[in-house]
Structure 1
Amino acid sequence: MSAVDSPVKPAPGGSPEPSPKKRRGLKVVLIALAVLLVGTASAGAIYAYTINRSVSQNIQRADTLPTDGTGGTTTGQPTVTETGTLDYVLLGSDSRNTDPGDGRSDSIMVVHLDKNRDKATIVSFPRDMYVDIPGYGMNKINAAYSFGGAKLTVETLQNLLGYKMDHVVLIDFQGFIALTKDLGGVTVKNKTAFTSHGYSYPKGNITISGQKALWFVRERHALPGGDLDRAANQRNVIKAIVAKGLSVDNVADPVKFTAFLSNVAKNITVDQTLTDADIRNTALSLRLDASDIELLQAPLAGFETVNGQDVDVVDKTKLAELAKALRTDTVDTYLKKYPKG
C-alpha cells in the first residue's frame, strides 16, 4: 500500500459511535443469535420439541473456523478465555457461500456472552476499517472475506482482538430482511428522509417490508453519515424484527412462531463445532432480554484516504481496551469509562 494521501479527519460529531439509545438496537445478524439461542427457551415447553426440530432440520453447517490443529488461531498468540464466556463471529452477506472470492461481507460483528449469561455485547466492525489481513497486508476489513472467505475474516478478527473466537454464524442478508414481509411489515423510526431505488423513506416512523425494507438497510450514498448511518438503519430494522418476531402474540401461536423460526434457520450457516446441543444448552443458560444487550461499534480514530479509497482508521488504544474487556469479561468497566461506547 502507498503512503496515506490525506491527513486523518475527525469522525462526524467528534465520534463515529452510535448514541446510547442506538447502542441498544440490534444489528442485522443479531436476530440469528437471538432467535436460535433465545427462541427455544422463550417459546415454552408445550411446543419446544417442534421448534428444536424446525431449527435442526433447516440450519446448515460449514467449515468456517480457522485452526492450527490444536483449536487455536492460525497466526498470532491469542489468549483463550477460561471464564465460561462465549464469543461468536456474525457475518452478513447476500450469500452464505463460505468460499473465497464470493464477494465481501456486508456486516461483521462479534457477539460476546458473559459468563453469567445475563449480559450480551455486540461489537460491529465497519466494513471500511483499515486493518492487517493475514497474508495480504493492510486493507479494508471486509476484503478478508473476498480473499479467504469466512476463515480469513475470523482470523483477521482474532489477530485484531488478540483472542480466539468460539463460533461463526453466517447470515443470508437478503433472506433475513425478507422476514419483514412474513411479519406483515415492521415499523422503524427513520431519522433522515431519503429515496432509494424508487422507494421513498420520509423522516419519522415508517412501516416497511420486503424490497422496501431491503433497500432501507442497503442504502448508504443518500445518507449523510454513509456506511455508519446505514448500520444504524440495519440495527433499527432488526430490532423491529426481533420485537415483532418474539412478541407475546407471535410466540403464543405455535404455527406462526415455528414458521418464523424455520425461515430464520433457512438463512443461517454455523460452524461445524456448533451442535444442536450447544444451541439448546446456551439457550437454557441465558437470563437476558433486549435491555441487557449492548451494541457497540469498534472504535475509530477518524478517516484517511489510501490509494484513492476512503478508509476508517482504527483507534488502536481504545480497541485494545475493548478487546481486553471482552477477553476478561469486564465490559461493564469499559462502558463506565466510555458510556457512549
Structure 2
Amino acid sequence: MSTHDEADSSRAPRHAAGDRGLDDLFTADEDAARAADGDAHRAPARAQKTPMRARRGPKIFLAAVLVVALLVLAALGVYLRILGNSLDNLHRDPSLMPDTTVVTPGQPINFVLMGSDSRGADQGRSDVLMVAHLSGDREHLYLVTFLRDMWVTIPANKVVNRPSKAKINAAYSWGGPALTIKTLQSITGVRMDHAVVIDFNGFKELTTKLGGVTVTNPQASKNRGYTFAKGPITLQGDQALAYVQERKDLTNGDLDRAARERAVLTAIIDKTMTGGVLANPRKLNDVLNTYADTMTVDAGLTNANVRKIATSLKFGSGKDIVQVQAPIAGYGKSKDGQDYDIVDEAGLKSLSTALKKDMMADYVANHPQ
C-alpha cells in the first residue's frame, strides 16, 4: 500500500492553536513522539447453512469509534503524546485492501468497517458490515449499514472459483476483508479507501471504560437476561452487547438491530468527543489503548495519514454523524433453504450514486431513514 489520503498536508485547512495551526503542531511534535516511543477458509456450503440465531455482535463499533475518535482527537491537538502512542500500537495489515487507492484533498473517504473473531488470514465470518463515508467537505460522517444477509454476487475467489450468489457475509469467510471490500465495490461501483477489522470483546471494555453510553430505545425488548425499557437507557459491558445483538424480539428484526447498532455507535463517538474523556488523561489513555489492542487497519492508515485527515475535519460531535441503511426490498429463500434479504436494486443504485458523487446529504433528504 502506498501512503495516501490528503497527500499534501500543507493544503489542509488550518485551525487556531495558540500562534500556530494544527499542521504545525503535528509537524513539530511527531519526531519527538517517535523518538520517545518508537515508530483457512470455511467450506462455503456448511457456513451458508448455519441456522439463523443470535450472532457474535458489534465488533464494528469499536473500529468506527477508533477511526473517528482518533481523527477528532488529532484534529483537536489534545494529548498528542498519548494519541501518538496509541497510533504506534495499531495493528496494520497490508492484505486487508484488495488494491491501492489514492484519495486527494476535497474528495470523500470510504472506510469499510468489519467485525471478525480473529485477525489476518484466520477468517471467521463477519456479522456486521458498515461503510463510514467521510464527506469531501469533512463536515459529516455517514454510517451506512449493509445487512449481513443481503443476497449479492460475490466475485470469484479461492473457495468458489466463479462469481456466485450468496449472503454478503460469506465473502469474509471465503476471502477475508479483501474479498468483502471487493464485493462491496462490485455491487456499488464505489471505491473503498480503507479497512478496519475489530475484535468484538473490546466493545464491552470500551462501553465500560466510558462509564456507559445513553441511547433512546424506540421499543422495549429482552435479551440474554437483560430488559431494555422504551426510552432513554444507559448501556455498558455485557448489557450493551446484548442490546445490539438482539433481533428476534424486535418488530423489524435485522433492520431494527442495525438501527440499534448505529445509535450505540453514535453515542460512543459522541461521548468520546464531548464527555469527560478528553478532560481526563487517564481515561483517554485507557480508551485509546483499548482501541489499539483490539483492532487491525490497512497499511494505508499510517500515523501520518491519520493526522493529515484529522487536520481537515470540521465536525466534533455525534450530531454530525448521519445513520443510513442500505435498502432492501423484502425477503427470499434460496434453493438450499437459506433465508436472505433481497437487495433493492434501484435503491442501491441511488445510494451508490450518492456515495460516488459525494451527494449523501441529498440522498438522505430524499430517502428518510
TM-score for both structures, normalised by structure 1: 0.81
1:14-163 alignment, distance < 5 Å: 29-42=63-76, 44=78, 47-53=79-85, 55-62=86-93, 63-67=95-99, 71=100, 84-93=107-116, 95-99=117-121, 102-135=123-156, 136=160, 137-163=164-190
Aligned to 2:125, the other structure's residue is in SS state coil
| Alignment-derived partner of residue 317 in structure 1 | 346
Q: Deviations over 1:142-166 (max 9, x none)?
A: 1111111111100000101113211
Q: CA deviation at 1:302?
A: 1.5
Matched residues in 2 for 1:271 and 1:198: separation?
37
Q: CA deviation at 1:205?
A: 2.5
Matched residues in 2 for 1:329 and 1:81: separation?
13
Q: In the alignment, is the contact (CA less than 8 A) between 1:83 and 1:329 conserved in 2? A: no
Aligned to 2:82, the other structure's residue is in SS state helix
Aligned to 1:165, the other structure's residue is in SS state coil
Q: CA deviation at 1:249?
A: 2.4
1:1-341 alignment, distance < 5 Å: 29-42=63-76, 44=78, 47-53=79-85, 55-62=86-93, 63-67=95-99, 71=100, 84-93=107-116, 95-99=117-121, 102-135=123-156, 136=160, 137-289=164-316, 290-307=318-335, 308-338=337-367, 340-341=368-369
Amino acid of the residue matched to residue 30 of structure 1? A
Q: CA deviation at 1:253?
A: 1.5
Higher relative contact order (CA 8 A, sep 6+): 1
Q: Deviations over 1:239-272 (max 9, x none)?
A: 2222322224221122221221121222221011
The 4+ residue runs of structure 1 with deviation greater than 3 A are 26-29, 80-83
Comparing 322-331 and 201-210, the one that deviates more: 201-210
Q: In the alignment, is the contact (CA less than 8 A) between 1:99 and 1:150 conserved in 2? A: no
* Structure 1 runs not aligned, ≥5 long: 1-25, 73-79
Q: Deviations over 1:50-82 (max 9, x none)?
A: 2222x2232111120113xxx37xxxxxxx999
Matched residues in 2 for 1:211 and 1:337: separation?
37
| Alignment-derived partner of residue 19 in structure 1 | none
Matched residues in 2 for 1:336 and 1:239: separation?
19
Comparing 266-275 and 242-251, the one that deviates more: 242-251
Q: 1:58 to 1:176 in 2, by over 3 A?
A: farther
Aligned to 1:332, the other structure's residue is in SS state helix
Matched residues in 2 for 1:150 and 1:31: separation?
19
Aligned to 1:192, the other structure's residue is in SS state coil
Q: In the alignment, is the contact (CA less than 8 A) between 1:96 and 1:269 conserved in 2? A: no
Q: CA deviation at 1:36?
A: 2.1
Q: CA deviation at 1:276?
A: 0.7
Q: 1:337 to 1:120 in 2, by over 3 A?
A: same
Aligned to 2:148, the other structure's residue is in SS state coil
TM-score for both structures, normalised by structure 2: 0.75
* Structure 2 runs not aligned, ≥5 long: 1-59
Matched residues in 2 for 1:162 and 1:153: separation?
14
Amino acid of the residue matched to residue 56 of structure 1? L
Q: In the alignment, is the contact (CA less than 8 A) between 1:40 and 1:52 conserved in 2? A: no
Aligned to 1:246, the other structure's residue is in SS state helix
Amino acid of the residue matched to residue 98 of structure 1? G
Q: In the alignment, is the contact (CA less than 8 A) between 1:38 and 1:286 conserved in 2? A: yes
Aligned to 2:311, the other structure's residue is in SS state helix
Q: In the alignment, is the contact (CA less than 8 A) between 1:120 and 1:294 conserved in 2? A: yes
Q: 1:82 to 1:248 in 2, by over 3 A?
A: closer
Q: In the alignment, is the contact (CA less than 8 A) between 2:218 and 2:230 conserved in 1? A: yes
Amino acid of the residue matched to residue 165 of structure 2? M
Q: What count of residue pairs does the alignment treat as equivalent?
A: 302
- Between the aligned residues of both structures, percent identity stands at 41
Matched residues in 1 for 2:136 and 2:111: separation?
14
